[in-house]
């Protein structure tokens, strides 16, 4: 039995609501903490919350979605994780803030170029950008909830590590991601992690659109350890 530690991105831990029971049905423990919203929390507060939720659990597989990519390596620097899986995630560089990441990587330009290739309007739209492949009833439930506030300090605290933690790392990008398009993510992962990402079908929210497929991929990673 492994312990899967699921770190959500912007939004809340309900993002993992379909993945948690699937992992538990396969015999695993799951930790999916809610990250703090107070403005002072920032990266340190997010990391503390995840480490506290892990407690004395072992055999850890840490999975980070989107903005959670800034927190997950810090967790792995403090606990003995067996594997870190970055899922459509932001990959930080030493000293970089989450607020600066967008310009540093060219993510917005990549999003606009993808919209042009797809023949879509350039304006950001929540449903079109994030929920385009999520079943309508699941999208309706997700968007009906009050949005969790992100900690203001999360965007301004520099990522504190000098290098990526010594943990086996896999990156899983989504080929139909309209927010972090696949060509953009392939470049970022190559430049910042020096690895070739794995790929799956789906948009930016695979835990909602393809939870079983996602768990199959996570379990394949675990089996290969």
pTM of the complete model? 0.97
Contact status, residue 179 vs residue 46, Cβ threshold 8 Å: no
| pLDDT score recorded for residue 193 | 98
What pairs with residue 170 in β-bridges?
85
| pLDDT score recorded for residue 85 | 99
Q: Classify burial at 192, counting beta carbons within 10 Å of its beta carbon; exposed 0-12, middle 13-18, buried 19 or more.
A: middle
Task: Decide if pLDDT at 129 tops 90.
Answer: yes
pLDDT bracket for residue 125 (50, 70, 90) = very high
The pLDDT > 90 percentage for the chain reads 99
Q: Tell me how far apart the alpha carbons of residues 82 and 143 are, in angstroms, rounded to a whole number.
A: 34
Location of structure tokens 């023949």: 119
> What b-and-e string marks burial along 12-44, b requiring 16 or more CB atoms within 10 Å of the CB?
bbbbbbbbbebbeeeebebbbbebbeeeebbbb
> What is the CA 223 to chain-centroid distance, rounded?
21
Element (H, E) at 84: strand 81-87
Task: Decide if pLDDT at 183 tops 90.
Answer: yes
Task: Decide if pLDDT at 147 tops 90.
Answer: no
> For residue 105, what are its two tokens?
């990587």
Closest among 14, 32, 10 to 23, alpha carbons compared:
32
pLDDT bracket for residue 140 (50, 70, 90) = very high
Phi, psi (5° rounding) for residue 104? -60, -35
All domains in the chain, ordered by first residue: 3-223 (3.40.50.1820)
Mean of the per-residue pLDDT values of the chain: 97
> For residue 102, what are its two tokens?
């967008």
Q: What is the DSSP letter of 78?
A: T
| pLDDT score recorded for residue 7 | 98
Q: Tell me how far apart the alpha carbons of residues 223 and 153 are, in angstroms, rounded to a whole number.
A: 37
Mean pLDDT of 72-89: 98
């Amino acid at each position: 039995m492994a312990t899967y530690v699921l770190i959500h991105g912007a939004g809340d831990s309900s993002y993992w609501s379909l993945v948690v029971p699937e992992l538990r049905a396969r015999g695993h423990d799951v930790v999916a903490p809610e990250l703090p919203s107070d403005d002072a929390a920032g990266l340190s507060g997010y990391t503390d919350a995840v480490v506290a939720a892990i407690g004395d659990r072992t055999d850890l597989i840490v999975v980070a979605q989107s903005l959670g990519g800034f927190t997950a390596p810090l967790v792995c620097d403090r606990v003995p994780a067996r594997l870190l899986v970055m899922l459509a995630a932001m990959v930080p560089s030493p000293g970089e803030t989450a607020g600066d990441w967008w310009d540093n990587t060219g993510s917005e330009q990549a999003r606009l170029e993808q919209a042009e290739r797809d023949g879509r309007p350039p304006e950001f739209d929540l449903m079109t950008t994030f929920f385009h492949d999520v079943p309508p009833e699941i999208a309706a439930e997700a968007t009906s909830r009050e949005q969790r506030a992100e900690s203001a300090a999360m965007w301004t605290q520099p990522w504190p590590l000098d290098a990526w933690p010594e943990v086996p790392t896999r990156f899983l990008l989504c080929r139909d991601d309209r927010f972090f398009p696949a060509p953009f993510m392939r470049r970022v992962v190559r430049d910042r992690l020096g690895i070739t990402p794995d790929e799956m079908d789906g948009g930016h929210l695979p835990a909602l659109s393809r939870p079983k497929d996602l768990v199959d991929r996570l379990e394949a990673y675990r089996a290969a350890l």
